[in-house]
């Protein structure tokens, strides 16, 4: 897309027997810089991507930089050796499938856990040397490739392979239906903030991957943080799922340990609000763009803002809030301002993600909530708690038939407020004048008998006498 010089970040590549350069790392980036060294473009390179340009090479607009297979995810041998199948038993863990169109037979890994004693199997491909000893990588671990369900084996038992050759391919799931109806459930899933089935697992911190002891049909993955004093983080991944990381790999905060759609709650907790907003906008736009529908980002941003309006209290500080309580960001800030003005410790909290149905039922206005869903429940709760509706939003003002606080209605409300403030100033001044007059008149009041001064504005002082 841009002309310049190619540089690689976190480079990890291997050359296969055909002389092609393949990406072996998970965090590798291709950056194009101009003559001044400024970054012009950057591309994240996925595992198994084939590179066509060398580090430091010059490229011009329209040059092909890299390509990858969009339909399958390859598993690439990092060392040269001989293939040895482990637990890849034909009929239990592997089935032969013949393609009717080409007549070619391929071996496909099937779900071995359903078979009797299947839980004890750990299907994987091991690389051995000429003496039958396992080939070891730089960390000293044997080079093995655990197989996931539906993986297509590209090598035979006993075959000699070179570093960079493809050992197996994992098909990527394509969209089942091509029209908008296939995409709308995905949009609903995003806006309702549901956790997707078999969602991706995201690394919570930078660290090194360690595989622990398996538990039932889950595999235990631990990340040992690089920061001292931090506890290692454990994840349980179902067996049969493809894990794109290996023992000893370095992962960064936010990297995927298991492929799939990530849960939006995890993105919010680990990467923050901005990353979540970017993710939501991209995912929703993907569905609509596929149909050629153009939607401005601001519409999705407004919805995401409503989904993120609540905060959860982590530490209450010197406030009256409780740990785990959910409240609006505006209320949270107001409470903290009051406490800090008194010199106390403010409460700490973090934003939480609510689905749009839940978010609209948890608005501060009970009239607005009642107009949406579960009307009786909302109204009974409001009456039991003695709630007051300040009519701040649009819906509640429409329902009670007032001018909405937007556009000229908002201006009217603002003018009213200013007028009320001015009136208060005038009323206050008059009251003070009246009090002063009453104070002057009070001694005379007793002398005359009080008839002439009954018309004065009554103040608390004059009444007491």
Domain annotation covers residue 336: yes
pLDDT value at residue 367: 92
Question: Which stretches in the chain have pLDDT values below 70?
Answer: 1, 174-182, 442-465
Domain annotation covers residue 420: yes
Query: Residues 381, 422: one domain?
Result: no
Domain annotation covers residue 299: no
Query: Residues 222, 277: one domain?
Result: yes
Q: Based on the structure, what is the number of domains in the chain?
A: 5
Query: Residues 56, 94: one domain?
Result: no
Query: Residues 249, 325: one domain?
Result: no
The residue out of 20, 35, 68 marking a domain boundary is 68
pLDDT value at residue 284: 92
Residue entry with tokens 């209605």: 409
Query: Residues 207, 286: one domain?
Result: yes
pLDDT value at residue 319: 86
The residue out of 381, 400, 419 marking a domain boundary is 400
pLDDT value at residue 130: 85
pLDDT value at residue 379: 94
Global confidence as pTM: 0.72
Tokens representing 319 are 């406030």
Domain annotation covers residue 324: yes
In Å, how far are 42, 103, 109, 323, 383 from 346, measured between CA atoms? 41, 71, 56, 13, 31
Find the Cα–Cα–Cα–Cα dihedral 122, 124, 129, 133, rounded to 10°.
-10
pLDDT value at residue 1: 63
pLDDT value at residue 465: 43
Tokens representing 31 are 């950056």
We report the CATH number of the domain holding residue 17 as 2.40.50.100
Query: Residues 268, 290: one domain?
Result: yes
Query: Residues 47, 84: one domain?
Result: no
pLDDT value at residue 464: 44
Query: Residues 158, 205: one domain?
Result: no
Query: Residues 316, 421: one domain?
Result: no
Structural domain boundaries, residue 212: 180-294
Domain annotation covers residue 264: yes
Domain annotation covers residue 48: yes
Domain annotation covers residue 301: no
pLDDT value at residue 121: 80
Cβ neighbours of residue 354 closer than 8 Å, sequence gap 6 or more:
193, 307, 309, 310, 362
The residue out of 68, 89, 112 marking a domain boundary is 68
Query: Residues 238, 218: one domain?
Result: yes
CB of 288 within 8 A of CB of 295? yes
Query: Residues 214, 258: one domain?
Result: yes
Query: Residues 134, 238: one domain?
Result: no
Domain annotation covers residue 343: yes
């Amino acid at each position: 897309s841009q002309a310049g010089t190619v540089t690689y970040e976190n480079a990890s590549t291997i050359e296969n027997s055909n002389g092609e350069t393949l990406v072996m790392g998970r965090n590798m980036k291709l950056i194009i810089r101009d003559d001044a060294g400024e970054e012009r473009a950057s591309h994240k390179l996925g595992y198994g991507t084939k590179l066509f340009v060398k580090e430091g090479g010059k490229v011009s607009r329209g040059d092909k930089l890299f390509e990858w297979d969009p339909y399958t995810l390859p598993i690439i041998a990092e060392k040269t050796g001989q293939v040895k199948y482990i637990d890849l038993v034909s009929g239990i863990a592997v089935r032969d499938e013949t393609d009717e169109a080409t007549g070619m037979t391929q071996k496909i890994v099937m779900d071995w856990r359903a078979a009797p004693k299947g839980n004890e199997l750990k299907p994987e491909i091991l690389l051995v040397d000429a003496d039958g000893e396992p080939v070891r990588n730089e960390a000293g671990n044997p080079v093995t490739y655990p197989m996931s369900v539906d993986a297509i084996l590209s090598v035979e038992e006993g075959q000699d392979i070179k570093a960079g050759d493809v050992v197996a391919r994992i098909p990527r799931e394509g969209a089942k239906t091509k029209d908008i109806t296939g995409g709308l459930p995905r949009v609903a899933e995003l806006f309702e903030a549901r956790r997707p089935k078999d969602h991706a697992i995201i690394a919570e911190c930078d660290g090194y991957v360690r595989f622990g002891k398996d538990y039932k049909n889950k595999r235990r993955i631990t990340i040992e943080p690089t920061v001292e004093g931090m506890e290692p983080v454990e994840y349980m991944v179902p067996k049969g799922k493809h894990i794109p990381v290996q023992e000893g790999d370095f992962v960064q905060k936010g990297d995927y340990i298991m492929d799939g759609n990530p849960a939006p709650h995890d993105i919010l907790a680990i990467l923050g609000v901005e990353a979540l907003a970017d993710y939501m906008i991209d995912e929703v736009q993907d569905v609509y763009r596929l149909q050629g529908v153009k939607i401005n980002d601001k519409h999705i941003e407004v919805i995401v803002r409503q989904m993120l309006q609540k905060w959860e209290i982590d530490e209450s500080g010197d406030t009256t809030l409780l740990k785990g309580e959910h409240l609006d960001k505006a209320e949270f800030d107001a409470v903290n301002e009051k406490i800090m003005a008194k010199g106390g410790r403010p409460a700490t909290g973090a934003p939480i993600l609510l689905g749009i149905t839940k978010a609209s039922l948890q608005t501060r206005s009970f009239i607005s909530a009642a107009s949406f869903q579960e009307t009786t429940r909302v109204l009974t709760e409001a009456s039991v708690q003695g709630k007051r509706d300040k009519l701040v939003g649009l819906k509640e003002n429409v329902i009670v038939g007032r001018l909405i606080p937007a556009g000229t209605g908002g201006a009217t409300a603002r003018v009213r407020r200013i007028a009320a403030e001015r009136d208060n100033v005038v009323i206050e001044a008059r009251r003070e004048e009246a009090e002063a007059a009453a104070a002057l008149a009070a001694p005379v009041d007793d002398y005359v008998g009080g008839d002439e001064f009954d018309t004065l504005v009554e103040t608390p002082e004059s009444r007491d006498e």
